[in-house]
Amino acid sequence: QSAGVFAFPQGAATVSVGGSEADGLIIADAVQFLPEGTAALPVVAETETPEGRSAEDAAEIARIRAVLKEKNARLAALDKSKPKLPTVMAVDDATAPADTPLRIRGMVRSFGESIPRGFLQVTQPAGQPVAEIATGSGRLELANWLASPDNPLTARVMANRLWLHLFGEGIVASPDNFGTTGDAPTHPELLDYLAGRLIESGWSTKTIVREIVLSRAWAMSSEWEEADPLASRIDPDNRLLHRGHRRKLDAESLRDSLVSFSGSLDRTGGGPALPEDFKSEYDPMETSLCRSVYVPVFRNQVDEVLNTFDFANPNFTVGKRSESSIPTQSLFLMNSPFIHQQAELAAKRLLDSPETETASRIDRAYRLVLGRSPTETESRLSAEFVRAEGPDRLETWSALMRTLFGCVDFQYLR
């Protein structure tokens, strides 16, 4: 039934349904708003009335309505108790490109002349014009240019850093400087090959790492005695890779190994690395037993093990870490309460193991820490120490474990 023709002004309008004989709320089953001259759609009436339902159907409907009411109340309660969503500062892309005014002396609100948008011309081939950016900020165009197969620099830098991570030395010795003031690549054809494979594999680092670790160069020993004497005279710095590089264990691997020896390493992946009540990076933190990749890194507070063993400075971008062998590291392995705790737990593992003979326990300790059995001299000296201090004392085996932690063979990869 048509209620009539009404004129609605442009913009928002309010419609109220009422009647002269109505008292209180009026419920309309359906209301249609149609342009003038349009036929109304037929309204389908219910074919079944509540009176026509069976007692079983009515009871089921009542039960469902009660359950629905209970669920809605539960949902409303949960909605009220949910935690407030955290907010972060983020960057939003601009809808239209615009030049940025110069900030005089770096002051945010001190504007100078407008600086036209451009690009680093030093990175462009000579004579090639820079494509203009019609919309947006240009961030997407920059990303596409960086990852373009026509731009070999990005792939070369990435391939060199993967090589550096695996060998300890890059094909280009200066990973942060591929320019004319940096070092020349020792194997330019190899670098180009790896860069090409990286692009072909869809920038899969796993593919490149697998190919490198399956190579002969990766499998070579770093021992001078096993190297070719002539090659050692021609290439004393091993730049041509006639043998493997002897390199120091990185800080993260060293820390994870120490915690793993004691059986305390938390191998759980992901999750929050900070306690819920943590408020400031200056607050003292309990030593975490999770893997180093999950240990939080603050500019003003770095894990003591990582900080002692050449961890990268978090205030800078570091392509290649420095390697040092200083008394502070040896003193830390001798006196740190954390090291004493891990050594004691590792010693307890030895005493709880099925081996009861001193020689078997010594062999197990060497295999656990150094990955090899002791030499004849090492076995004899270790056995003499254990017998002198007491073979069944926890302190004896804890001291032996601390001694192995300080070995060169533990801290260096051969």
**For 62-98, how does the pLDDT look when each residue is reduced to its tens digit (9 = 90+)?**
899 999 999 999 999 999 888 888 888 888 876 777 7
Total residues belonging to the chain: 414
Q: What pLDDT, in 10s, does the model give residues 151-168?
A: 889 999 999 999 999 998
Say what the pLDDT of residue 162 is.
96
- pLDDT, position 384: 94
Are both 375 and 286 inside the same structural domain? Answer: yes
Domain count for the chain: 2
178 and 250 share a domain? Answer: no
This prediction has a pTM of 0.67
Q: Which residue has the higher pLDDT, 222 or 381?
A: 381
Residue with token string 């002396």: 105
Q: State what percent of residues in the chain have pLDDT above 70.
A: 86
- pLDDT at position 32, please? 76
What is the separation, in whole angstroms, between the first and last Cα of the chain? 92
Which of 53-67, 281-295, 388-402 is predicted most confidently?
388-402
pLDDT of residue 58: 83
Write down the mean pLDDT value for the chain.
85
Give me Rg for the CA atoms of the chain: 36
* Better pLDDT: 82 or 191: 191
Residue where the block lists tokens 């990268």: 312
Residue numbers of the domain that contains 309: 246-268+282-414
Q: Which of 174, 181, 134, 132 is nearest to 157 (CA)?
A: 174
Average pLDDT over residues 184-211: 94
Based on the domain organization, do 413 and 357 belong to the same domain?
A: yes
Task: Calculate mean pLDDT across residues 331-356.
Answer: 92
Q: Looking at the predicted structure, is the pLDDT value of residue 404 above 90?
A: yes
Q: pLDDT-derived band of residue 24, with 50, 70 and 90 as boundaries?
A: low
Q: Is residue 409 part of a domain?
A: yes
Local confidence band at 46 (pLDDT 50, 70, 90 cut-offs): very low
- 383 and 259 within one domain: yes
What would you measure as the largest C-alpha separation in the chain, in angstroms?
Answer: 113
Q: In whole angstroms, how far apart are CA 219 and each of 5, 126, 166, 222, 405? A: 89, 43, 11, 9, 25
Q: Which residue has the higher pLDDT, 169 or 283?
A: 169
Residue 178 in domain: yes
Q: Both 195 and 260 in a single domain?
A: no
User: Mean pLDDT throughout 34-59?
Assistant: 64
Note whether 255 and 194 are same-domain residues: no
Residues 318 and 381 in one domain: yes
The band of 374, judged by pLDDT with boundaries at 50, 70 and 90, is very high
Please tell me the distance from the alpha carbon of residue 376 to that of residue 288, in angstroms, as a whole number: 38
Higher-pLDDT residue of 66, 13: 66
| Same domain as 326, residue 261 | yes
**313 and 181 housed in the same domain:** no
Average pLDDT of the residues in 384-405: 93
Q: Are 294 and 378 in a shared domain?
A: yes
Residue 141 pLDDT greater than 90, yes or no: no
Same domain, 208 and 250: no
255 and 362, same domain (yes or no): yes
